[in-house]
Amino acid sequence: MADTITLAKTRSSVADSLRCQGAGMPDPNGPRGAKPRRRFSRRNIFLYGTLILIGAYYLLPLYVMIVTSFKGMPEIRLGNIFSPPVEITYQPWIRAWAEACTGLNCDGLSRGFWNSVQILIPSVVLSIAVASVNGYALANWKFKGSEVFFTILIFGAFIPYQVMLYPIVILLRELGLFGDLSGLVLVHTIFGMPILTLLFRNYFTSLPEELFKAARVDGAGFWGIYFRIMVPMSIPIFVVAVILQVTGIWNDFLFGVIYTRPDQYPMTVQLNNIVNSVQGVKEYNVNMAATLLTGLVPLTIYFISGKLFVRGIAAGAVKG
């Protein structure tokens, strides 16, 4: 509890740390006007009641997915979607992972998993490397016109990807990268750039400038300062960037299907194929299992590193 608050602070203001101490115990002079309160005060009942209701709303779809994926088709057709399974079956999961068919390929999602990993790792590394250097240059080494390019990048964040699909096909063809994994990595790097650069720029801007000056006095150059000072100080924002990119790239369908070949299709393409190939009746249970399996990687990352994410966001995005 107290640690989250500590995590949230960036430029360790004295007030913040005071509040941290206040968080642990009832403090009549606390900053949030928290009066000494009884555990079951009306305020508390209202507060937790609201939060639990909201929590239920956010959890409902996940619950429905999980419950449905363990039901058999007859039960789905008869029962309501919110009731827990009467008879638990693992069949939908097995089907989704290894048996569901698209056209002639009946090997489910398993085919796409390693492809997704292979796309994910270089894309995440490259896009973050490029964006962090961008952000660093924009924050600390402004040159004439750098802000103009930055504004163009931000503008790029608003362009629907699909609009760029066509020119990029041509661009990649001219570069000779079309259909190659490196082409896809490049595309992810390009489209990850606007938001990531914004994050990194804001973060580096918020670092105390004395550090930068001191390093300059010591004779450190562009790369020296970047590797020896900026990167070590920026772990939270790197975590945020990793999480955002892993989620975005893992969930990407459009680029994966257009800029690669079938033997490299990511998992989401398989997911789309499974969900959209209706063979006879729609197998909702298999669809839900496939959905959960595909979402497992980003979900795990969120559940594990949620704290770091919040901390990084606090550090990077808030200081506009």
Q: Which long-range contacts (CB under 8 A, 24 or more apart) does 214-221 make?
A: none
> Restricting to residues 248-267, which ones interact with another protein according to CB under 8 A?
251-254, 257-259, 261-263
Interface stretch with another protein, choices 90-98, 108-116, 227-235, 244-252 (CB under 8 A): 244-252
Rounded CA-CA distance 151/160 in Å is: 17
- Is 285:70 a contact under the CB 8 Å cutoff? yes
Among 70, 93, 113, 212, binds another protein (CB under 8 A): 212
Instruction: Give yes or no for residue 86 binding another protein (CB under 8 A).
Output: no
CB of 137 to another protein, least distance (A): 5
Contact status: 125 vs another protein (CB under 8 A): no
Give long-range contacts, CB 8 A cutoff, 24+ apart: 94-101.
95/283, 95/286, 95/289, 96/69, 96/274, 96/286, 96/287, 96/289, 96/290, 96/293, 97/289, 97/293, 100/274, 100/277, 100/286, 100/290, 101/277, 101/279
| From 88-96, 112-120, 197-205, 227-235, span contacting another protein (CB under 8 A) | 197-205
8 binds another protein per the rule CB under 8 A: yes
User: How far apart are CB 101 and another protein at their closest, in Å?
Assistant: 6
Q: What minimum distance in Å lies between the beta carbon of 234 and another protein?
A: 14
Q: Per CB under 8 A, which region of 86-94, 113-121, 227-235, 298-306 contacts another protein? A: 298-306
97 lies in the site for another protein, by CB under 8 A: no
Burial status of residue 140 (CB atoms within 10 A of its CB: 0-12, 13-18, 19 or more): buried
Q: Does residue 81 belong to the site contacting another protein (CB under 8 A)? A: yes
Which of 67, 230, 274, 286 is in the footprint of another protein by CB under 8 A?
A: 274
DSSP annotation of 102 reads B
8-state DSSP, 176: T
* 282 counts as binding another protein under rule CB under 8 A: yes
Site for another protein, residues 49 to 78, rule: CB under 8 A: 50-51, 54-55, 57-62, 64-65, 68, 76
Which listed residue (73, 125, 130, 233) binds another protein by CB under 8 A?
130
Kindly state whether residue 41 participates in binding another protein, applying the rule CB under 8 A: no
Q: How many residues bind another protein (CB under 8 A)?
A: 148
Burial class (CB in 10 A: 0-12, 13-18, 19+), 99: middle
Asked if 233 is part of the footprint of another protein (rule: CB under 8 A), the reply reads no
**239 binding another protein? (CB under 8 A):** no
Instruction: Tell me how many helices (H) and strands (E) the chain has.
Output: 16, 0
Q: Which amino acid is at 160?
A: P
Minimum CB–partner distance for residue 91 and another protein (Å) = 18
Residue 181 interacting with another protein (CB under 8 A) = no
Phi, psi (degrees; rounded to nearest 5) at 105: -90, 115
Compare residues 72 and 298 and give the one whose CB is closer to another protein: 298
Closest CA to 194 of 131, 118, 248: 131
